[in-house]
Amino acid sequence: MKTLLKSFIIGVGIGATVFLWQVVTIGFVPTVYQVLSVLGFSGLMGVAALIFDLKNINFVNRLFLHFCSMFLLVAGMLLSNQWLDMTEILSFVPGFVMIYGIVWLVLFIYNLVVSKKINQHLKKNLDK
């Protein structure tokens, strides 16, 4: 339960930051419903990240489940806030796939760099 709440709060924080950045740069004034909706969906996106902790499912399947979860959550948020309608859903897919791929690649490279630093630090301590 603690992990779910922590993931939800992290998702809300990331979503609030991205949403605030968009509000400032685009200059649109959201309704209370839109703000609450973004925060709620963002929290659920944070919880969806826990899919990667499911060790009984292979990585490719976890990635696919996460991708589908994120797609449904983002599409649901956009549809519920009337920022997208069903006639535009097919044009939304390529952009979503591209953004998901870029974010995944950046996080993969970041984790690789952090892992190398940790391994170097451990090796250095073992050599002492």
Quickly state the pLDDT bin for 89 (edges 50, 70, 90): confident
CA atoms within 13 A on the CB side of 41: 21
Checking if the pLDDT of 95 tops 90, the result is yes
Structure tokens belonging to residue 1:
């339960």
Q: What percent of the chain has pLDDT over 70?
A: 99
Quickly state the pLDDT bin for 86 (edges 50, 70, 90): confident
pTM for this entry = 0.84
Q: What pLDDT is stored for residue 45 in this prediction?
A: 97
Rounded to whole angstroms, the Cα distance separating 42 from 47 reads 9
Quickly state the pLDDT bin for 37 (edges 50, 70, 90): very high
Q: What is the mean pLDDT of residues 50-72?
A: 95
Quickly state the pLDDT bin for 17 (edges 50, 70, 90): very high
Rounded to whole angstroms, the Cα distance separating 18 from 39 reads 11
Q: What is the mean pLDDT of residues 90-108?
A: 93
Element (H, E) at 73: helix 59-80
Separation in Å, CA 62 to CA 21, 51, 54, 65, 126: 30, 6, 7, 5, 34
What mean pLDDT, rounded, does the chain reach?
A: 93
Q: What pLDDT is stored for residue 94 in this prediction?
A: 95
Checking if the pLDDT of 127 tops 80, the result is no
